[in-house]
Amino acid sequence: MGRFVNPDNSAFQVALNSKIYVDKTGLINFTNSVLDTMDGYICNSRPRRFGKSYAANMLSAYYSKGCDSEKMFSGLEIAKAPDFKQHLNKYDVIHIDIQWFLANCENADEVVLFITKSVLDELREIYPGTLPAEVVRLPDALSRVKERTGQKFIIIIDEWDVLIRDGGVSEIIQDEYINFLRGMFKGTEPTKYIQLAYLTGILPIKKEKAQSAVNNLDEFTMLQAFGLAPYIGFTENEVKDLCEKYNRDFEKVKKWYDGYLLDGYQVYNPKVVVSLMTKGKFRSYWSETGSYEVVVPLICMNFDGLKTAIIEMLSGAEVEVNTASFKNDPAKIQNRDDVITYLIHLGYLGYNEENATAFVPNEEIRQELSTAVRNSHWDEMIAFQQESRKLLMATLTKDAKCVAQEIEKIHNDYVSIIQYNNENSLSSVLAIAYLGSMQYYFKPIREMPTGYGFADLIFVPKPEYVNSYPAMVMELKWNKNVQTAVKQIKEKKYPESLLQYTGDILLVGINYDPDSKKHDCLIEKYEKE
């Protein structure tokens, strides 16, 4: 066994030794089904801390000739598969981590050479006499080994995209690296020596000019996860099981950390869930992922509509996005949609494939993205947050006149992007207007079923602010009056959905005249029976 060729299973054993391990060996069932086919070329991209390396280490431990992993896998899901032993530790595996190679090179232009030399040296030890000295390229070496021995290779590359994401790496070096991958995987000859190719990273394969494209890899991404969705992040059922085991409130966990919708699965960040289960504290663990420094420059890019989109998503709205233009290269971001698409790949935004919309997935990410916005020093955002805080304080003190004035101002500011004369548009405006409340409140709930109907907007404080901030039930009208709005809240018993809520509840009715654009407001404290 070697470090990179036919490695042992110690890396996966570390995962099994951990306090929390969730069985993801169903992924092996999938890879077994595509071995030695044209579908056996996979690029599986996910955000940081979504279990990418765990998956790569697991595949290596299962397939590598360099170890005996039967006992390791015997109690896991894959052991139930009829072909479990057929593929277990039967293949020559090359497992490389591009991040490690980059960290151990003085310059990025040495990475490809370092990888090539390291793997060639081990191949010459494993197959002595097979590779003459003139063989200096890895694809040539793999082809010769296959010709001589009949043995195909499984190639696993972790952090495949680190050279693409690193802003300090020149395009020349990136092109050299892409050409290296192309030589490994593209064309007729690689089909002779590749049993399975599995690449993982944050980004899908870089879209490049035809001569350097690696377009024969099936891509599984945060945009289109297909059948791999349940094998990387934690599914909702897996999180429920952990909540039961560790006595955590699942509904609270869902509010804080859910939101990624992948191929019909609600998917959670494994690192975040494990941190919560073991530490017991609801907070943002996202800053520990190391991607924060990427976000601030992104949201500061001066593209039309970007800042408006960020504000709308922070307020709880979904925004349309065209993901097709992004080249999977941060250096070639050209518009608002490219930024949003990159943020989806980074995990800062969720993606609704059916509607082609992006959104902030959960409370944790909302906090992190809000912090990034504050640190980006948007003058307009600073002014907006000040106005929003003023609105919140006016609401809390039941200053209806001030509330009406502030909402009117924000409504008029957004008239160019939101259809003005309907209650849905006013609902969007209100969610945006109360953006400054996100420090104290969860994402506003729209059209919440309550009593005998649906409340337009409900704001529920986070548990730590229950005694300081009231819940707010809002009914929105246009071309009517605020008395009608508040009356509807009472008659349809909207507050009854909050009976378990121990703090105060405010009833807020808002109406505007579509002709004069004048807004009115009525605020009452709900008297619990």
Whole-number pLDDT of residue 420 = 43
Whole-number pLDDT of residue 63 = 98
Whole-number pLDDT of residue 75 = 92
Region 439-465: mean pLDDT is 74
Looking at the predicted structure, is the pLDDT value of residue 405 above 60?
Answer: yes
* Residue 408 to residue 267: CA distance in whole angstroms: 38
The answer to whether 258 touches 38, Cβ cutoff 8 Å, is: no
* pTM above threshold 0.75: yes
pLDDT digits (tens, 9 = 90+) for 98-128: 999 999 998 999 999 999 999 999 999 999 9
Q: CA nearest 220: which of 233, 211, 208?
A: 233
Whole-number pLDDT of residue 83 = 95
H helices present in 104-207, as ranges: 111-126, 138-149, 162-165, 171-185, 188-193
- Residue 220 in 3-state DSSP? strand
User: Between residues 362 and 425, which one has the greater pLDDT?
Assistant: 362
CATH 3.40.1350 is held by the domain 379-525: yes
Whole-number pLDDT of residue 529 = 63
* Domain definitions of the chain by residue range: 10-220, 234-375, 379-525
If you search the block for the tokens 């408006």, which residue do you land on? 308
Q: Which CATH code, of 2.40.420, 3.40.50, 3.40.1010, 3.40.720, is assigned to 10-220?
A: 3.40.50
Whole-number pLDDT of residue 108 = 92
pLDDT digits (tens, 9 = 90+) for 428-448: 777 788 888 888 888 888 765
Q: CA nearest 311: which of 405, 407, 388?
A: 388
Q: pLDDT grade, residue 452 (50/70/90)?
A: very low
Whole-number pLDDT of residue 33 = 96
Buried-exposed string 412-421: b where 16+ CB fall within 10 A, e elsewhere: eebeeebebe
H helices present in 315-418, as ranges: 336-346, 363-375, 379-396, 400-413
**Which residues are 507's β-sheet partners?**
473, 524
Looking at the predicted structure, is the pLDDT value of residue 180 above 60?
Answer: yes
Whole-number pLDDT of residue 212 = 46
Region 161-169: mean pLDDT is 87
How do beta strands 194-201 and 153-158 pair?
parallel
Residue-by-residue DSSP string for 251-316: HHHHHHH--EEETTEEEE-HHHHHHHHHH---S--GGGGS-HHHHHHHHTS--TTHHHHHHHHHTT
Q: pLDDT grade, residue 62 (50/70/90)?
A: very high
Whole-number pLDDT of residue 416 = 47
Looking at the predicted structure, is the pLDDT value of residue 167 above 80?
Answer: no
